[in-house]
Amino acid sequence: MTAPTTSPFFHKPCRQLATGLVLLASIGLTACGTTPTETGQTAQGPERPATGPGSGFWQALAPHCGQAFRGELVASRPGDDGFRERDVVVELRHCEDSRMLMPLHVGDDRSRTWVLERHPWGVTLKHQHRDQDGSVQDTHYYGGLARPPADGNQLKFPVDDETLAMLPGSVGGVWTMEVEDGRLYYQVRRKGSDEVFRLAFDLSEAIDNPPEPWGWEHIR
């Protein structure tokens, strides 16, 4: 079991080395074939979604599937220093036309995976949080929905009803994911606050893939 930390929307004890994060979306389209890599990731096949919610974001990340990238904390709030003091790595570990799984590694903490899925009604971003034994943490699978058209390189995910029931303090919150100028950005902003949590990942230089995230066999 891990020690308490804080959530991205309101400071409440949660898990060690973490501010609650949120991220990945789903759209019900036909999935194309994937190719396993040597490290167990799956890379995007030759077919890519040309239109519909998530199409621009998927196309921007497709060349990087199966790779990992170092990140940095570029904007923070009180309590976010754990991300500044440790190595932060995102991994595009599993890619399909309708689903992407992106583990987020913070130092030796491998508890987080962003789950993005494409649907006709938009793109969903969910945050998986698991302990080393694969069991889910108390705050798990929260996120938001990017409604159509949502077809550009930037996706905004206002908090969804499921998350509001789990985290009432997240009302009005928005997650943003964006690919711009060779970087992947992940941001969390709370309603009525100028403070944001923002990570930036350099997509121009892939690094060695880290070990698989905790509970990977349950996530895939």
Q: Helix (H) and strand (E) counts for the chain?
A: 4, 13
Reduced to 3 states (helix: H, G, I; strand: E, B; else coil), residue 155 is strand
CA 79 to chain centre: 20
CB under 8 Å to 24, separation ≥6 — which residues?
99, 100, 101, 102, 113, 114, 115, 116, 117, 124, 125, 126, 127, 143
User: What is the rounded CA–CA span in Å between residue 120 and residue 98?
Assistant: 10
Reduced to 3 states (helix: H, G, I; strand: E, B; else coil), residue 170 is helix
User: What is the rounded CA–CA span in Å between residue 204 and residue 29?
Assistant: 29
Q: How wide is the angle at C-alpha 27 spanned by C-alphas 45 and 50, nearest 5°? A: 50
Q: In DSSP terms, which residues pair with 177 in a beta bridge? A: 155, 186
Fold held by 35-219: Lipocalin (2.40.128)
**Cα–Cα distances in Å, from 84 out to 6, 13, 73, 80, 208?**
15, 19, 6, 7, 20
Q: In DSSP terms, which residues pair with 118 in a beta bridge? A: 123
Q: In the chain, what are the domain boundaries? A: 35-219
Positions of the chain with pLDDT lower than 70, given as ranges:
1-49
- For 204, the enclosing helix (H) or strand (E) is none
Give the tens place of pLDDT for each residue, 103-123: 999 999 999 999 999 999 999
pLDDT of residue 41: 55
Nearest to 163 by CA among 8, 6, 13, 3: 8
